[in-house]
Amino acid sequence: TAVSNRYPTAQLRALDAAHHFHPFTDTKALNAEGSRIITAAKGVWLTDSDGNRILDGMAGLWCAQVGHGREEIADAVHRQMTELSYYNTFFKTTHPPVIALAEKLAEVSPPQFNRTFFCSSGSEANDTVFRMVRFYWDQMGKPEKKIIIGRWNGYHGSTLAGTSLGGMKAMHEQGDLPVPGVRHIPQPYWFGEGGDMSPAEFGIWAARELEKAIDHHGEDKVAAFIAEPIQGAGGVIIPPETYWPEVQRILKERDILFVADEVICGFGRLGTWFGSEYYGIEPDLMPIAKGLTSGYLPMGGVLVSDKVAAGVIDKGGEFYHGYTYSGHPACAAAALANLEIIQREKLVERVANDIGPYLQARWRALGEHPLVGEARMTGLVGALELVPEKGNRKKAFPNTGTVGTMCRDISFRNGLIMRAVRDSMIISPPLVITHGEADQLVAIAK
């Protein structure tokens, strides 16, 4: 039987409980309380099966840059599906939408990027990165360069490579990960881990942990460093201003590839096309997903710099890597229509100059709240650090996520989706959120 949203909510919940194994969810616990069923969405507003309207403060999972329900994207996908629903890009074939998308990505990305390898998600993008950096060093005659350095509490997806490159210890514990050849350094999380250092001192300290790690293993053994410009899933960790310039210095002095994971920060989230541009850093590879299609269809990719292309394409033979859905025509059509909206509506500029500063000012004012230790936001991504006592950064809450989960549920009941990361509350709304909707978001969060 087809499940439709005309079924009574109770029946939908019962079917969900019986047959659906949810990702990143304790399904047993969920079934005790019943899942929330989202039935429709338009702009920044979701509708649930009880008819409630909820402000989507997380843009789905950090992805709905242009908002929900844009008919223009649906029409583009429909047209593409009736013309060419599927063909692959293996074995010397291609098709117009993937060509147009690859060209568009070369146009909007920094000048060193002129080529994209396509896949279906951020996790697949990072699996591609994992294999591509090793393939690169093989072609460059340095096959001993194998180690990839990531950061504790970074997130790069949930496949084997994604989980391994990421630094989520709870994920590593399920399945004896990371895979060999991956190391992790501390994250630049001043509020939680800065100790007695000033943010500026801590930024330098955290960057030099990278220097120490590279020098410990030897530059001739290290292939790449991977990091999100701002860690998203780790809790919107906005690094101190001293961090990225120091990391860039360290990498420039050494022969190490720099992978900026732009899955969240890309496509305008920080008020620049890519997060690395916001920080003035120069990656060699950029995994992308989410905002590439605003989530309308699944698509990811890896933007490959000319430097890496010179190894993996000019020197390399066939790279034995690819996915059935690499460059899927309907997904490429969705991405193109989405990027055209971002350009036409000047959403990147809007985040930099208009809605970004507007929401940031109101969000930071939440720092006055008696339970908020820090209210931080860059572009349209922000966090509230919940503390029991103002004036110090101690998390006397056990930091198990109990308080965060409670606040998240209260927020939902009041009509706003925020995400809880341990005991902090996160937002990452669609880039089209209006001033009035931003006011509503802050009023509910308060």
Among 56, 127, 209, 261, binds ligand PLP (CB under 6 A): 261
Per CB under 6 A, 228 contacts ligand PLP = yes
Give least dist CB 352 to ligand PLP, A. Answer: 21
- Count residues contacting ligand PLP (CB under 6 A)? 17
303: Cβ–Cβ under 8 A, 6 or more apart, which residues? 105, 109, 113, 115, 116, 262, 285, 286, 287, 288
Distance CA 182, CA 70 (A): 41
CA angle in degrees (0–180, nearest 5) for 107-113-115 = 85
Tokens of 223: 């292939």
Q: Which of residues 97-126 bind ligand PLP (CB under 6 A)?
A: 121-123, 126
> Quick one: DSSP state of residue 179?
P
Which residue shows structure tokens 């009023």?
A: 443
CB of 226 to ligand PLP, least distance (A): 9
For the bound state, the minimum distance from the C-beta of residue 184 to ligand PLP, rounded and expressed in Å, comes to 15
Phi, psi angle pair for 107, to nearest 5°: -70, -45
Say whether residue 233 binds ligand PLP (CB under 6 A): yes
Residue (of 206, 213, 287, 284) closest to 244 by Cα position: 206
In SS3 terms, 283-333 reads as: CCEEEECHHHCCCCCCCEEEEEEHHHHHHHHHHCCCCCCCCCCCCCHHHHH
Pick between residue 57 and residue 373 the one whose CB is nearest to ligand PLP.
Answer: 57
Q: Which is nearer to ligand PLP, 12 or 289 (CB)?
A: 289
Q: Does 127 bind ligand PLP (CB under 6 A)?
A: no
User: Rounded to the nearest whole angstrom, what is the least distance from the CB of residue 298 to ligand PLP in the complex?
Assistant: 7
CB of 263: closest distance to ligand PLP in angstroms? 3
Tell me how far apart the alpha carbons of residues 59 and 293 are, in angstroms, rounded to a whole number.
Answer: 12
Is there binding between residue 430 and ligand PLP (CB under 6 A)?
A: no
Q: How far is the CB of 345 from ligand PLP (least distance, A)?
A: 24
How far apart are alpha carbons 209 and 277 in whole angstroms? 23
161, 171, 256, 264: which one contacts ligand PLP (CB under 6 A)?
264
Nearer to ligand PLP, 205 or 273 (CB): 273
Beta bridge mates, 53: 47
Decide: helix, strand or coil at residue 195: coil
Q: Does residue 289 belong to the site contacting ligand PLP (CB under 6 A)?
A: yes
The SS3 assignment for 33 reads helix
Q: Which is nearer to ligand PLP, 73 or 161 (CB)?
A: 161
Q: x-or-dash pattern for ligand PLP, window 62-101, by CB under 6 A?
A: ----------------------------------------
Nearest distance from residue 188's CB to ligand PLP, in Å? 15
Closest residue to ligand PLP, Cβ-based?
122
Q: How many residues does the chain have?
A: 446
- Candidates 156, 350, 376, 422; binder of ligand PLP (CB under 6 A) is 156
**Greatest distance between any 2 Cα atoms in the chain:** 63
Q: Which strands sit side by side in the sheet containing 147-151, from one edge to the other? A: 113-119, 300-305, 285-288, 257-260, 222-227, 147-151, 182-185
Binding region for ligand PLP (CB under 6 A) out of 153-161, 167-175, 357-365, 437-445: 153-161
User: Taking CB under 6 A as the rule, does residue 60 contact ligand PLP?
Assistant: no
The one among 130, 155, 243, 274 contacting ligand PLP by CB under 6 A: 155
Q: What Å distances lie between residue 409 and 96, 134, 181, 382, 412, CA to CA?
A: 45, 44, 40, 18, 5
Distance from C-alpha of 244 to C-alpha of 193, rounded to nearest angstrom = 17
Three-state SS for 242?
coil
Is residue 427 near ligand PLP by the rule CB under 6 A?
no
The smaller minimum CB distance to ligand PLP, of residues 157 and 178, is found at 157
Q: Which positions from 291 through 320 interact with ligand PLP, judged by CB under 6 A? A: 300
In the list 157, 311, 382, 404, the residue contacting ligand PLP (rule: CB under 6 A) is: 157
**DSSP string covering 379-440:** TTEEEEEE-SSTTS----S--SSHHHHHHHHHHHHTTB--EEETTEEEE---TT--HHHHHH
Binding mask 169-208 for ligand PLP (x = CB under 6 A): ----------------------------------------
Q: Which is nearer to ligand PLP, 97 or 122 (CB)?
A: 122
Among 57, 97, 232, 301, binds ligand PLP (CB under 6 A): 232
For binding to ligand PLP (CB under 6 A), which residues are involved? 61, 121-123, 126, 155-157, 162, 228, 232-233, 261, 263-264, 289, 300
